[in-house]
Amino acid sequence: MMAANGWYIYNGLEAVPPGVTRVRIHESVTVIPARAFEGNCNIEELECHDLVKTVERSAFYNCTSLRKVIMPVVEVVEDCAFGDCKALTVVECDKLERIGGGAFSWCKSLTSINLPSAKIVEYIAFCDCHALAKVKFGDKLERIIRGAFRNCTSLEQITIPLKDGMNIADNTFQRCENLKHVDLVEGAVLRDTVDALLLDEWRNDMTDKLDVINQSLPTTPAGDHFYDEGEKARAIRMWISSVLFKIIHYKAQHRSLLNEVATLQQDFPQDIMLKNILPFLKLPSHSFEGENNEGGGERQSHQRFIRRRFR
């Protein structure tokens, strides 16, 4: 069905006529079927309405002219759905949760993508997206499966959540030699909170820990063949764990400080309480091995410091 404004309205029942360049999905369609547009070399734009939840396997595979995809509430993009869409540059998918295997592989013109709701990125989902430079995830990310960004040779920056147990497979960034920068979803809040730490040594320690990944990642090997998986993914996983450990450590230090002050029955300066301690305690809690096993020697040393400072 051809609309007056030049858009073709796809109802899921009829093949798209030759020469159609812009497609809108009819409101009766909630799932774009497997291979529905596969190999169509004319389509340039796709717009989905707010009821389309799924794009099935290979639905737009090898649509070589497709450059813009608007799918505001799609939650699942299945295997190879947009694979080999060489002209694709714009993808709007704020609700996308699961990205299937090879879903955007060989999208050679895609330079950046924002995936605020993504939970699972499957095998080779963005493999060989040679122009892809920036990828931004939100705080829902749980798992990136093997090879998801393999051979994304222009990839420079990725934003991920600070989350214990998040699984980033070893060869996720194989051949991503230019991956140099990792941002945290919680980065701005975390740095503001670090600035409010009571002691300079605490602030410096946390700042160094946050910055270390971007100092080491540029020279961390990315792997150069199938059996050499590279070390970038492992480095990022280890860094996440170390940052979480530091957060847990300094939250425990603050709790110890508050408990010690209460034990000593002294009035704690309100400006320190409001500006330095409470903001840090409001950080999201993280479950991490060792959280309840702070070293006794560290705690005793910190208690001695409190007595000297506040008596």
- How many CB atoms are closer than 10 A to CB 163? 19
CA–CA distance, 248 with 110 (Å, rounded to integer)? 38
If you average pLDDT over residues 261-289, what whole number do you get? 51
Q: Report if residue 134 sits inside a domain.
A: yes
Q: What percent of the chain has pLDDT over 70?
A: 81
> Which distant-in-sequence residues (6+ apart) come within 8 Å of 299 by Cβ?
252, 256
Give tens-digit pLDDT for 23-72: 999 999 999 999 999 999 999 999 999 999 999 999 999 999 999 999 99
Tokens of 268: 């704690």
Indicate the number of domains in the chain: 1
Identify the band that residue 291 occupies on the pLDDT scale cut at 50, 70 and 90: very low
Domain coverage including residue 80 = 8-187
Residue among 107, 152, 149 nearest 124 (CA): 149
Q: Report if residue 171 sits inside a domain.
A: yes
Tokens of 233: 């993914």
Q: Report if residue 154 sits inside a domain.
A: yes
Q: Report if residue 51 sits inside a domain.
A: yes
- Adjacent-strand bridge partners of 23: 8, 46
CA–CA distance, 180 with 72 (Å, rounded to integer)? 30
Residue among 154, 218, 150, 151 nearest 182 (CA): 218
Q: Report if residue 65 sits inside a domain.
A: yes
Number of helices (H) and strands (E), helices first, in the chain?
A: 6, 16
- How many CB atoms are closer than 10 A to CB 36? 21
CA–CA distance, 117 with 121 (Å, rounded to integer)? 11
**Which amino acid appears at position 239 of this protein?**
W
List the CATH number of the domain containing 18.
3.80.10.10
Q: Report if residue 87 sits inside a domain.
A: yes
CA–CA distance, 290 with 251 (Å, rounded to integer)? 13
Q: Report if residue 216 sits inside a domain.
A: no
Q: Report if residue 278 sits inside a domain.
A: no
Which range of 181-195, 211-225, 268-282 scores highest in mean pLDDT? It is: 211-225
